[in-house]
Chains A and B, each alone.
Chain A
Amino acid sequence: EIVLTQSPATLSLSPGERATLSCRASQSVSGYLAWYQQKPGQAPRLLIYDVSNRATGIPARFSGSGSGTDFTLTISSLEPEDFAVYYCQQRSNWYTFGQGTKLEIK
């Protein structure tokens, strides 16, 4: 089973700042890497798929990058509504999620 490890566990930033979230896979995921956002009491929402493609309706301030085993979700300038938990997900060996990064307001 491919394990996804996200870091940091918690990221404290202010609105307007740049956020960089990391996801590391225990083995290559061949480009099938997605990111989801989850707000309290809500279902997850698909943000990024295939490493770097934004899902429908996702603002351009969200971007994804990486390859092989190391991936990054970047939010260029944080808006108040971006503070949430973010999960990465892969499919190369069934569907597994990272443990999440909580993005909180500093």
Chain B
Amino acid sequence: EVHLVESGGGLVKPGGSLRLSCAASGFTFSSYDMNWVRQAPGKGLEWVSSISRKSNYIYYADSVRGRFTISRDNAKNSLYLQINSVRAEDTAVYYCARLVDDYLFDYWGQGTLVTVSS
């Protein structure tokens, strides 16, 4: 059974940094592109970043480019998101999601909450 478990969320001050992790199990992690999708409290879904199987293709939403860095360690079946220079508008639940067929998010983790506040 596919499992994605995020961790690393918490309270961070504006301008601070945080590193989110996503532990994958139940599938061959190295065979799938992976993504981060976030959801601000009471709001809709926003795609954040995507990384290809071998990390040779990496993409970001305009809202986070230059501040967020996605990475993965296939040996550890893990996905990461380094969040720097956080802003209030980065407050959200961050989900890791597996990508199939170039655009479908077929499995999601339970999410980890990032709260940006002084």
Contact = CB atoms under 8 A, between A and B. Distances in A.
A58 to B, nearest CB: 12
Given A43-B108, A94-B59, A94-B61, A34 B103 contact: yes
A5 to B, nearest CB: 12
A96 B95 contact: no
Secondary structure at the B interface, as helix, strand, loop or mixed, is strand
A97 B82 CA distance: 23
Interface string A14-34: 000000000000000000101
Chain B interface size range:
20 to 34
B101 interface: yes
A36 B105 CA distance: 9
B20 to A, nearest CB: 15
A42 B39 CA distance: 12
B34 to A, nearest CB: 13
A39 interface: no
B104 A100 contact: no
Nearest to B109: A43
Interface of B: 35, 37, 44-47, 50, 59, 61, 95, 101-106, 108-111
Interface of A: 32, 34, 36, 38, 42-46, 49-50, 55, 87, 89-91, 94-100
A100 B40 CA distance: 13
Contact of B103 (A32, A55, A100): A32
Given A43-B95, A94-B61, A87 B45 contact: yes
A39 B105 CA distance: 16
